[in-house]
């Protein structure tokens, strides 16, 4: 069974930093591209970042480029999202998601999410 | 344009057929995927590609595209289909992923 478990969310002040983690199991993690997607409670989904299987390629949404960094540790079956210079509009549930091997950019599994609240 | 547009809310009578749409220029180049999300839960993939269903997804769900509009059709809607439905695809540049705003489906 594919399992993605996020952690690291919490309350942080504007301008602060936070590191999210996602522990993966139930599949060959080192073979898959991974994504982070966020959702303001009650609103739609917004793609944040994507990383290829060996960590050599990263893409970011314009709204987080230069502030967020996606990384992974294939030995630990984990993907991370380092978030700096946080703003109120970054408040959201952050989901870790797996990209299917069937098609590029096709997300087939999601974690349950971790809530990040940016507030003073 | 790199945006996808969905109607905020749609309703359907129990057992009837409903179509949820997603509009955007990128859909002329890339297929949409559709996700079902129930309150407090993570999204679940229900349709991808031309019209493909992952294992375990009911055959009540089907997908299609015409021009810049992708559609998710639920044939014989059931109470358990009440949920938010999100579409996504690559953006027009092909390098980013974009989502629609989501459609809240109510089964009456």
Q: Could you read off the pLDDT of A12-47 as tens digits, one per residue?
A: 999 999 999 999 999 999 999 999 999 999 999 999
Tens of pLDDT along B52-72?
999 999 999 999 999 999 999
- Secondary structure letter of residue B2 according to DSSP: -
- Tell the residue number behind the tokens 């059709």, with chain if given: B73
Q: What is the mean pLDDT of residues A35-62?
A: 96
Q: What is the mean pLDDT of chain A?
A: 97
Mean pLDDT rounded to a whole number for chain B? 95
**Position A103 confidence tier, pLDDT thresholds 50, 70, 90:** confident
pLDDT at A78 over 50: yes
Q: Does B57 touch chain A (CB under 8 A)?
A: no
Q: How confident is the model at residue B29 (pLDDT cuts 50, 70, 90)?
A: very high
- CA B93-B99-B103 angle, to 5 degrees, is 150
Residues of B whose CB is below 8 A from A2: none
**Statement: residue B1 has pLDDT above 70:** no
Given an 8 Å threshold on Cβ–Cβ distance, is B48 in contact with A59?
no
CB pairs under 8 A between A and B: 59
Compare all CA atoms of chain B with the CA of A104 and give the residue at the minimum distance: B90
Distance CA B75, CA B85 (A): 15
Is there a contact between A34 and A97 (Cβ–Cβ < 8 Å)? yes
Nearest to B48 among A61, A106, A111 (CB): A106
The mean pLDDT value for B30-43 works out to: 96
- The answer, yes or no, to whether residue B2 has pLDDT greater than 60, is no
- Which chain B residues contact residue A109 at CB under 8 A? 45
Q: What number is the average pLDDT over the span A61-84?
A: 97
**Residue A110 confidence (pLDDT):** 98
Rounded to a whole number of angstroms, the CA Rg of chain B reads: 13
Average pLDDT over residues A70-95: 98
* B36 shares contact with chain A (CB less than 8 Å): no
Evaluate whether A36 touches A99 at the Cβ level (below 8 Å): no
CA distance B54 to B27: 21
Q: Say whether B48 and A61 touch across the interface (CB within 8 A).
A: no
Cross-chain CB nearest to A110 (options B42, B89, B90): B42
Three-class DSSP category at A90: helix
List the beta bridge partners of residue A19. Answer: A82
Q: Quick check: A35 and A47 in contact, CB under 8 A?
A: yes
Percent of chain A residues past pLDDT 70, beyond the cut: 100
Query: What's the token pair of residue B78?
Result: 């059931």
Give the residue carrying structure tokens 């960590």.
Answer: A55
Rounded average pLDDT over B35-64: 96
Average pLDDT rounded to a whole number, residues B66-95 = 96
pLDDT at A28: 97
Q: Is the pLDDT of residue A105 over 50?
A: yes
B94 or A5, higher pLDDT: A5
Query: Under an 8 A CB cutoff, do A104 and B49 touch?
Result: no
Residues 6+ apart with CB under 8 A from B6: B20, B21, B22, B23, B85, B86, B87, B100, B101, B102, B103
Structure tokens at B9: 């809310």
């Amino acid at each position: 069974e594919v399992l993605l478990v996020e952690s690291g969310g919490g309350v942080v002040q504007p301008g602060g930093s936070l590191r999210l983690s996602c522990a993966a199991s139930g599949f060959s993690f080192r073979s898959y591209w991974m994504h982070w997607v966020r959702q303001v409670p009650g609103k739609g989904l917004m793609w944040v970042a994507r990383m290829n299987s060996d960590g050599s390629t990263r893409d970011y949404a314009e709204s987080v480029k230069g502030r967020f960094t996606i990384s992974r540790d294939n030995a630990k079956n984990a993907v991370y999202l380092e978030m700096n210079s946080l703003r109120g509009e970054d408040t959201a549930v952050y989901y870790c998601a797996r990209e299917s091997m069937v098609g590029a950019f096709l997300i087939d599994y999601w974690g349950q999410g971790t809530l990040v609240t940016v507030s003073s | 344009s790199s945006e996808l547009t969905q109607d905020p809310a749609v309703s359907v009578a129990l057992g009837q057929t409903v179509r949820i749409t997603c509009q955007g220029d990128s859909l002329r180049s890339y297929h949409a995927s559709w996700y079902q999300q129930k309150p407090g839960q993570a999204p679940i993939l229900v349709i991808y590609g031309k019209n493909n269903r992952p294992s375990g997804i009911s055959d009540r769900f089907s997908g299609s595209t015409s021009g810049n509009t992708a559609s998710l059709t639920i044939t014989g809607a059931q109470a358990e289909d009440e949920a938010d439905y999100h579409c996504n695809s690559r953006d027009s540049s092909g390098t980013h992923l974009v989502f629609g705003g989501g459609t809240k489906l109510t089964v009456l």
